[in-house]
């Protein structure tokens, strides 16, 4: 039979462990900044015409005008596209812009060494926060990173979501 002191020690250790875990969890929540936003509108487009890519950026879709209204907004852009015939060793890039200014995480790379020669579906999401009130033009472009490289884009979709605080 174990002594009372043994049980008190074990209970104390358990309380200490639970407190430490709770602190880690609370600390993790303080470090992570979540965007608590309300979806205002979703714009969607699909294109099926083939586009040949080179080092000169080409429009993947027609520009989309979004509205932030009377307040700042956040915009999430998701692009899905088939890429094929990517020159081996070269890279296709996806660029997302608002009013001609790149999103923070633009220039997503699709490696030619992986894709060649079959079509591969690639999806990339981009987020921009703090767009000023009013209307903005969102564009998506494709190009090749290095000179001499080529590729084609086939069926592709874009989803643009506008969020407000």
Q: What is the pLDDT of residues 92-127, one digit of tens each?
A: 899 999 999 998 866 667 766 654 567 788 899 999
159 C-beta neighbours (distance < 10 Å), count = 15
4: confidence class by pLDDT, cuts 50, 70, 90? very low
Q: Does the CA dihedral 42-125-87-64 come out positive or negative?
A: positive
pLDDT for 73 equals: 96
* Alpha carbons 19 and 151: distance in angstroms, whole number: 56
Of 144 and 88, the one with more pLDDT: 144
What is the residue whose two structure tokens read 């020669």?
117
Q: Give the model confidence (pLDDT) of 22-77 as tens digits.
A: 433 444 333 445 668 899 999 999 999 999 999 999 999 999 999 999 999 999 99
Find out whether the peptide bond into 87 is cis, omega within 30 degrees of 0: no
- Other C-beta atoms lying within 10 Å of the C-beta of residue 82: 17
CB contact at 8 A, 49 and 28:
no
pLDDT of residue 150: 86
For residue 134, how many other CB atoms are within 10 A of its CB? 14
Q: What is the pTM of this model?
A: 0.75
Q: What is the pLDDT of residue 70?
A: 95
Q: How far apart are CA 65 and CA 160, in angstroms?
A: 10
Token pair in block for residue 70: 């009377």
Cβ partners under 8 Å of residue 43, min gap 6:
64, 66, 158, 159, 160, 161, 162
């Amino acid at each position: 039979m174990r002594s009372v002191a043994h049980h008190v020690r074990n209970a104390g250790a358990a309380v200490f462990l639970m407190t430490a875990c709770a602190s880690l969890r609370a600390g993790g929540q303080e470090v992570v900044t979540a965007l608590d936003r309300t979806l205002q509108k979703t714009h969607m487009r699909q294109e099926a015409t083939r586009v040949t890519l080179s080092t000169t950026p080409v429009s993947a879709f027609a520009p989309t005008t979004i509205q932030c209204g009377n307040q700042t907004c956040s915009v999430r852009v998701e692009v899905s596209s088939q890429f094929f015939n990517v020159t081996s060793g070269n890279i296709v890039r996806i660029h997302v812009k608002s009013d001609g200014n790149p999103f923070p995480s633009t220039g997503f790379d699709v490696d030619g060494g992986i894709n060649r020669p079959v079509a591969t579906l690639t999806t990339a999401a981009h987020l921009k926060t703090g767009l000023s009130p009013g209307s903005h033009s969102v564009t998506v472009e494709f190009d090749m990173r290095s000179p001499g490289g080529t590729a084609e884009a086939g069926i592709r979709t874009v989803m643009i979501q506008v969020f407000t605080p």
